[in-house]
């Protein structure tokens, strides 16, 4: 019952702070493009960007929380991302520095945020963070995005920043190479189209590295990502069975798929926990590189040679940071690659 009532949260980092939002509320995730600043927008709105015909405001979370983060101090980077939500039927983005992970968080791991001795009047106005989650040794703040996007709610007065004379231009001190990257992203987003402009034209993907190669995995089969500190090897098992770990009381089998993909196994330090046909296993990976929501129009058929060699394991290709990434079919890899056996489960 606990596992069924758990909720998936997308965790991300802004500066030194870690936040999370319900994954179901996320519309898509994109690389930060160049944006245009506009008059009469709230101070916490960094600017506007055109995404497939929709004008999307981008929020600077530091400014929203009242922290002093003028652009002299908060320099946007090409590695930054934008998490986009639906806000009363319209898209709204939050600029983040890093996508951390997707977590399945049970209700008993979520507790009310401390009040820090503030009076009730202050609490009514400032609660962008109503709860916090305990994840292993970490504590992550869960955002109330409805209040975050509502200008009626203000940050606590004791955190408000002193006025600043920030530059009214996008990344004025960025290197020209970075400015060119931001600008190209903005052009690509503005010119890209979908069949009907709806969200179902986007596919959520995790980009992972395993065996020295990059692959895409569809998020609908992923339960969470975990770090592997230690595991217990199981005697008399096939070579692709790495071992078992205790994941919050659940015995999870770790499976290595590099052999099926004709790759060399790397260090066992991370895993993707997937649920397929009532089986839950951990797929060993080298690194989680990114979580993206990509338009279906950007996917291409497999090259002929690759399709003939592994048509059952690979679905299509897409581009990630300028390089081709193959989206894999984990269900086919596990079953047709004979990686799932009843004795292990």
What are the pLDDT digits (tens) for 122-151? 555 556 888 898 877 778 999 988 888 887
- Same domain? For 168 and 312 the reply is no
- d(CA 105, CA 24) in angstroms, rounded, equals 13
In this structure, is residue 343 part of a structural domain? Answer: no
Instruction: State which of 172, 191, 210 marks the end of a domain.
Output: 191
Do residues 60 and 48 lie in contact, with contact meaning Cβ atoms separated by under 8 Å? no
Counting Cα atoms < 13 Å in the Cβ hemisphere of 177 gives 0
Non-local (6+) Cβ contacts of 187 within 8 A are: none
Position 133 in a domain: yes
Of the candidates 280, 253, 279, the residue with the CA atom closest to the CA atom of residue 268: 253
User: Residue 27: which of 187, 153, 145, 193 has the closest Cα?
Assistant: 145
Q: How far apart are CA 198 and CA 214, in angstroms?
A: 28
263 shares a domain with 184 = no
**Do residue 187 and residue 229 come from a single domain?**
no
Same structural domain for residues 326 and 178? no
**Cα separation of 110 and 94, whole Å?**
23
Write down which residue in 165, 191, 217 finishes a domain.
191
> Residue 126's pLDDT is what?
54
Tell me the C-alpha to C-alpha distance, in Å, between residue 230 and each of 226, 300, 323, 340.
12, 38, 33, 22
Q: Give 97-113 pLDDT, tens digit per residue.
A: 988 888 888 888 888 88
Asked, for residue 53, whether it belongs to a domain, the answer is: yes
| Co-location of 225 and 287 in the same domain | yes
**Domain total in the chain:** 2
Domain of 161: which CATH number? 2.40.50.180
pLDDT at position 21? 92
Please identify every stretch of the chain with a pLDDT value under 50, giving residue numbers as ranges: 1-3, 69-73, 121, 158-169, 194-200, 342-345
256, 120: one domain? no
Q: What is the DSSP letter of 174?
A: S
Does residue 220 sit in the same domain as residue 162? no
Q: Confirm whether 254 is domain-assigned.
A: yes
Q: Does residue 344 lie within any of the structural domains? A: no
Domain assignment of residue 345, yes or no:
no
Residue that terminates a domain, selected from 132, 160, 191: 191
DSSP single-letter state for residue 113: P
Contacts of 333 (CB under 8 A, 6+ apart): 257, 260, 261, 313, 339
* 175 in any annotated domain: yes
My answer on whether 70 and 142 are in the same domain is yes
In whole angstroms, how far apart are CA 212 and each of 50, 206, 285, 287?
35, 16, 10, 10
Shared-domain flag, residues 166 and 216: no
Q: Tell me whether residue 342 is in a domain.
A: no
Considering the domain architecture, whether residues 173 and 319 belong to the same structural domain is answered as: no
| Strands of the sheet with 54-60, listed across from one edge | 26-31, 81-87, 90-96, 54-60, 45-51
Mean pLDDT of the chain: 78
Instruction: Supply the range of the domain harboring residue 104.
Output: 2-191
Q: Are residues 164 and 226 both part of a single domain?
A: no
**List of residues 6+ apart from 186 with CB closer than 8 A:** 33, 34, 35, 49, 50
One domain, residues 207 and 186 = no
> What does the pLDDT look like over 201-230, one tens digit per residue?
678 888 888 888 889 998 888 888 888 888
CA Rg, the chain, in Å? 22
């Amino acid at each position: 019952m606990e596992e069924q009532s758990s909720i998936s949260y997308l965790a991300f980092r802004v500066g030194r702070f870690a936040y999370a939002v319900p994954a179901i509320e996320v519309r898509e995730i994109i690389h930060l493009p160049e944006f245009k600043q506009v008059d009469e927008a709230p101070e916490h709105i960094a600017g506007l960007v055109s995404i497939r015909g929709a004008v999307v405001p981008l929020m600077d979370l530091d400014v929203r929380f009242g922290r002093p983060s003028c652009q002299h101090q908060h320099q946007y980077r090409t590695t930054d991302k934008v998490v986009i939500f639906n806000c009363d039927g319209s898209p709204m983005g939050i600029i983040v520095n890093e996508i951390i992970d997707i977590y399945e968080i049970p209700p008993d791991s979520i507790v009310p945020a401390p009040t820090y001795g503030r009076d009730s009047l202050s609490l009514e106005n400032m609660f962008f963070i109503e709860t916090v989650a305990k994840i292993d040794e970490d504590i992550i703040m869960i955002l109330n995005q409805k209040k975050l996007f509502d200008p009626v709610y203000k940050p606590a007065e004791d955190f408000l920043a002193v006025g600043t004379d920030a530059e009214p231009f996008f990344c004025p001190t960025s290197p020209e190479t970075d400015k060119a990257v931001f600008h190209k992203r903005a052009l690509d987003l503005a010119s890209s189209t979908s069949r009907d402009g709806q969200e179902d034209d986007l596919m959520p993907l995790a980009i992972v590295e395993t065996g020295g190669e990059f692959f895409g995995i569809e998020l609908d089969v992923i339960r969470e990502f975990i770090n592997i500190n230690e595991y217990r090897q199981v005697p008399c098992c096939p070579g692709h069975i790495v071992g078992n770990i205790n994941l919050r009381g659940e015995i999870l089998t770790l499976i290595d798929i590099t052999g099926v993909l004709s790759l060399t196994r790397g260090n066992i330090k991370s895993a993707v926990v997937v649920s397929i046909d009532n089986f839950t296993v951990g797929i060993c990976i080298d690194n989680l590189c990114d979580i993206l929501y990509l338009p279906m129009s950007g996917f291409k058929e497999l090259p002929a040679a690759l399709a003939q060699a592994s048509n059952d394991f690979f679905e299509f290709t897409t581009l990630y940071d300028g390089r081709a990434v193959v989206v894999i079919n984990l269900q086919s890899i596990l079953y047709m690659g004979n990686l799932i056996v009843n004795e292990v489960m």
